[in-house]
Chain A
């Protein structure tokens, strides 16, 4: 069997298993699968609101997914998108709330820049640990995630706490510093456009620039990079910084467009989901956009299933986790095939 054929067979098998598992789960939650799928698609395509919600939910995933993809390209296993997201969220809230005299548009731009830098620096810490001291970035980024999460908790209880309220969250950001909605009353906002621009930018960087070329070489073959005069360390550090910056933008956009204030738990694990998105997308920017939108669509559809039929929306996590596990396990399939042939 040729490699291409085998790949297609594997993809079909994975898709079939996922659909069967999904249907099984729907049945287990006492719903009619036909009804469920109808609701699922109605949730996505049934009205403008739902349809736009797909892109709203895809936005942070695109940013963090791009971040992971850029880092993975050099072999820097950044699983700290979660923390980098929060650093972006924290600093953007500080900018938006802390400079009341400054015009809104300036604050937005400033928030995007500083949020990018904050996320980047957060990833840079791990990159320096790795490049300078040889410490695994996996553990360091996890630690940094929890430090960031707690920083947010600290901020919304102290210096950023809404003086008018008693809940741990910041004051509301004034309208002028919020990212504009594109299609009111839907929540679709300019952030989605920024995400697409970022994806295009990442694509351009990776495909059309010498920096992208270096990153690619380092990712594929560190030894060849060194033998041909390309600095492995420099490129790991740069890609980590970009990676963190992109994840930071996800936090900025979430604060300035959706939450309109800073509070805890706003990433809803998208930093970890991003790892899987980048993996499924083969670390390609276009793939990241597609996978993020697909993932968001599943969430929107599943939310409708939950509202209408009581099918728990956690079904999305199950199926996405399952798909990645099956991708990892596809070796089991091909091995059996080889044995049969022999």
Chain B
């Protein structure tokens, strides 16, 4: 049994699966992180992703183009993100209530319309985005396949993580977006338009969450099924915390979540009778421990999920 596991082949396949499992979580996690750093907690990320998944499927099916599908997925994510933005920024409502209501609403809408869409039609499967091999790099043992024999979404992620890291560390705008989530009154006093930045953050949240959802349809499954996000939006919330509110950290945390998932699939493939759930549970426990470990010096933005109204203290 052990010999079966400790092989190059096993690990190569495991790493590939890990990255594949992690990609939608990374997109959603980065989107969530961007919003949270600007002070908006979007528990509705599940709904954002679900909308992205459904819209991308519908768009690709009607147009026959994966790119248009992707665009629709992004728009679907934005639409849901904006509902949350208006409720939590303009109307200063409880962000958790708004998020949960959004999740239920979007679950209903996507299930409803996917039924209508599929009615009387035979089972529809999209041809998915194909992988692009990067010559040379993909031959690196163990991780070559995982990192450099992937689809365009994965490669774009590498760029995105670098851009976001630089954005927060090196640019004035990055500083400003963080200030909005930390201390909106100070940001306002420094001349930063707080609400405008929060809307922009929710726009990014919608875009990235939408891509995360679309990825599941356009790359992995080629089809939309009801409630297909099945908790990934909530996992993204955990990835942000575990990643200590940094792009690289979120990436790493999403890999851990993806890895736990991938490991159980691979173990099952080689016939190890370890129930999937034992592993799947781990990342959540790790997140809880990470929360305990960050007591006192939490990286959580100070004004997370507190609406900002000028003139009130």
Instruction: Scan B70-114; emit 1 where CB is below 8 A from any A CB, else 0.
Output: 000000000000010011000101101110111111111101100
| B19 on the A face (CB < 8 A) | no
CA distance A319 to B108 in the complex (A): 8
CA distance A322 to B112 in the complex (A): 14
Neighbouring B residues of A310 by C-beta, 8 Å? 119
> Are B288 and A143 in contact, CB atoms less than 8 angstroms apart?
yes
Choice from B102, B115, B277 contacting A150 with Cβ under 8 Å: B277
| A226 on the B face (CB < 8 A) | no
Q: Nearest chain A CB to B45's CB is how many angstroms away?
A: 11
> Are B275 and A157 in contact, CB atoms less than 8 angstroms apart?
yes
Choice from A147, A150, A154, A318 contacting B108 with Cβ under 8 Å: A318
Neighbouring B residues of A269 by C-beta, 8 Å? 104, 107
| A182 on the B face (CB < 8 A) | no
| A25 on the B face (CB < 8 A) | yes
CA distance A121 to B87 in the complex (A): 33
Residue ID in chain A nearest B275 by CB atoms: A157
Neighbouring B residues of A275 by C-beta, 8 Å? 97, 100
| B280 on the A face (CB < 8 A) | yes
Given A314-B108, A315-B112, decide whether A154 and B277 contact each other with a Cβ distance below 8 A.
yes
Q: Which residues of B240-284 are within 8 A (CB) of A?
A: 241, 275-278, 280-281, 284
Q: Nearest chain A CB to B93's CB is how many angstroms away?
A: 4
B41, B86, B288 pick with most chain A CB within 10 angstroms? B288
| B234 on the A face (CB < 8 A) | yes
Residue ID in chain A nearest B110 by CB atoms: A314
Neighbouring A residues of B102 by C-beta, 8 Å? 321, 325
Q: Which residues of A128-185 are within 8 A (CB) of B?
A: 129, 133-136, 138-140, 142-147, 150-154, 157-158
Number of A interface residues at 8 Å Cβ cutoff, please give it. 49
> Are A129 and B291 in contact, CB atoms less than 8 angstroms apart?
yes
Q: How many A-B residue pairs have CB under 8 A?
A: 147
* Segment at the B interface, from A209-217, A230-238, A239-247, A326-334: A326-334
| A317 on the B face (CB < 8 A) | yes
| A33 on the B face (CB < 8 A) | no
Neighbouring B residues of A143 by C-beta, 8 Å? 238, 284-285, 287-288
> Are A138 and B105 in contact, CB atoms less than 8 angstroms apart?
no
> Are A314 and B107 in contact, CB atoms less than 8 angstroms apart?
yes
Neighbouring A residues of B278 by C-beta, 8 Å? 150, 154
CA distance A320 to B102 in the complex (A): 10
Interface size class of B (residues with CB under 8 A): 35 or more
Chain B contact residues: helix, strand, loop or mixed: helix
Given A142-B237, A316-B108, decide whether A79 and B100 contact each other with a Cβ distance below 8 A.
yes
A269, A310, A314 pick with most chain B CB within 10 angstroms? A314
CA distance A205 to B97 in the complex (A): 25
Neighbouring A residues of B231 by C-beta, 8 Å? 146
Neighbouring A residues of B103 by C-beta, 8 Å? 272, 321
Neighbouring A residues of B112 by C-beta, 8 Å? 25, 29, 312, 314-315, 318
| B172 on the A face (CB < 8 A) | no
| A324 on the B face (CB < 8 A) | yes
Given A275-B100, A310-B119, A315-B108, decide whether A142 and B291 contact each other with a Cβ distance below 8 A.
no
> Are A150 and B281 in contact, CB atoms less than 8 angstroms apart?
yes
Q: Nearest chain B CB to A249's CB is how many angstroms away?
A: 22
Q: Nearest chain A CB to B169's CB is how many angstroms away?
A: 25
> Are A139 and B291 in contact, CB atoms less than 8 angstroms apart?
yes
CA distance A80 to B83 in the complex (A): 24
Neighbouring B residues of A320 by C-beta, 8 Å? 104-105, 108
| B189 on the A face (CB < 8 A) | no
Choice from B98, B119, B292 contacting A133 with Cβ under 8 Å: B292
Q: List 19 A-B contacts (CB under 8 A).
A: A134-B295, A135-B291, A136-B300, A138-B96, A143-B288, A145-B234, A146-B280, A146-B281, A147-B285, A157-B277, A314-B107, A314-B112, A314-B226, A318-B108, A319-B108, A321-B108, A325-B105, A328-B93, A331-B93
Q: Which chain A residues have a beta carbon within 8 Å of chain B's beta carbons?
A: 25, 28-29, 77, 79, 129, 133-136, 138-140, 142-147, 150-154, 157-158, 269, 272-273, 275-276, 279, 310, 312, 314-322, 324-325, 328-329, 331-332
Closest 8 CB pairs of A and B: A321-B105, A317-B108, A318-B108, A314-B111, A153-B277, A324-B101, A150-B281, A312-B115
